Structure 1
Amino acid sequence: MIDPPLRGHPAKADRSAIHWTFFRQWLKNPLAIAALSPSSRRLAREMVKQLPEHPGRVIELGGGTGVFTRALLERGVHPNNLLVVELNEELHRLLQQQFPEVHVVRGDARELQAIIEGEGFAEAGGVDAILSGLGLLSMSRGTQRRILTAAFSVLGPNGRFIQFTYGPASPVSRDLLTELGISVHRGGVAWRNVPPAAVYVFTRNRSTSIRAVRTHKR
């Protein structure tokens, strides 16, 4: 008798279907889907290594096929304390099917403040961390500004924004970080990811606060 796959880990046939779903969405909109295939579990491990020691509320932006979502749950983030935001309709539906106990919302990262208010996810003290699977490197400066402003408007005072990139340096320019009052450091590299990916951690400069900006639905 063959044991069933571990809870939360899709079987081989399911993984093939997930990869095909992801690739099909990439074909439809390669600028919105930043890679040809989902991120690896190696990269997911590098991402969750950058979480605070005892994370409370966590948000994931661009949930994709759920690789980071699964790693967050394995790291010990309670499903009730995890909000996953995915704009793509088919990937959003896939995430809902895989993680019925998690808050999975179809929405735009630029409207994050309105999303968490609508979900009742916000609370005093803010969110501890945001993991981003978004392709910041391929986005315009204006889009990056809106996403980071929205993210830091919901992060707590010591909150961190965790982002991976396939480029050789931070996906956000030094000028924009200075403008927003944000610092960055490299957290690690997933060399065996295809392609290799570096993880960066963004935090507030201690002397600077980022004003919450209410965004409007399009």
Structure 2
Amino acid sequence: MPRFDRRRFLLAWLRAPLRIASITPSAPRLAGLMTKEISTLTGPVLELGPGTGVFTAALLERGIAERDLPLVEHERDFATLLQDRFPDARVLRLDVREMWKTALSRSFFGGVVSGLLRPKMPVPIEILDSLGLVSKRIGWTLRNIPPAAVYRISRRYQPMALIEQRRA
């Protein structure tokens, strides 16, 4: 991680402490946990809140092509930095809550990686249930500021017998 990234994060946090979750970029240990189940077979990966690109770099190491990495970043300085560091990635400077207004909402992604930190599972169970999704904590690390948990959200699988019954 370039040494000036810590300074960038601290300054961004000072400007908007309620919008920036951390005073420092995510640690490599967290980036490894966040991307450990992603491979070239995953397909395009959407990244939410990439900051300075710690997870982005880990995704590239996993074999995801830059052109298959849309990066959604709200902070202007981070978005500019990301476009310089990852020129083939599609950097969108917008609030994640506004994504539904863009073409991204109609795109297919094999995975989504989010650096938007929360102290607990970030999606309420009611929303998961309504979308047919389940959540599982797959790791955590104290070697991050703040310490972080990593969750995998995936589709709830149904036994084939239930699928066959619904078709009848």
**Displacement of 1:52:** 5.5
Tell me, which stretches of 5 or more residues in structure 1 are unaligned?
1-9, 138-166, 208-218
For residues 173 and 105 of structure 1, the distance between their equivalents in structure 2, rounded to whole angstroms, comes to 26
Greater shift after overlay, 36-45 or 194-203? 194-203
Identity value in percent = 40
**Displacement of 1:28:** 0.8
Of 147, 150, 173 in structure 1, the residue corresponding to residue 124 of structure 2 is 173
Change (3 A) 1:61 1:177: same
Change (3 A) 1:28 1:109: same
**Displacement of 1:97:** 1.2
- Which has the bigger relative contact order, CA under 8 A and spacing at least 6? 2
TM-score by length of 1: 0.65
Amino acid at match of 2:83: Q
Tell me, which stretches of 5 or more residues in structure 2 are unaligned?
159-168
TM-score by length of 2: 0.83
Q: Which residue number corresponds to residue 201 of structure 1?
A: 152
For residues 16 and 117 of structure 1, the distance between their equivalents in structure 2, rounded to whole angstroms, comes to 32
Change (3 A) 1:116 1:51: farther
Matched, 1:184 2:151: no
For residues 114 and 194 of structure 1, the distance between their equivalents in structure 2, rounded to whole angstroms, comes to 32
Q: How many residues align?
A: 158
Greater shift after overlay, 24-33 or 108-117? 108-117
8 Å CA contact 1:55–1:128 kept in 2: the answer is: yes
For residues 58 and 188 of structure 1, the distance between their equivalents in structure 2, rounded to whole angstroms, comes to 20
CA RMSD of aligned residues (A): 2.2
Matched, 1:46 2:33: yes
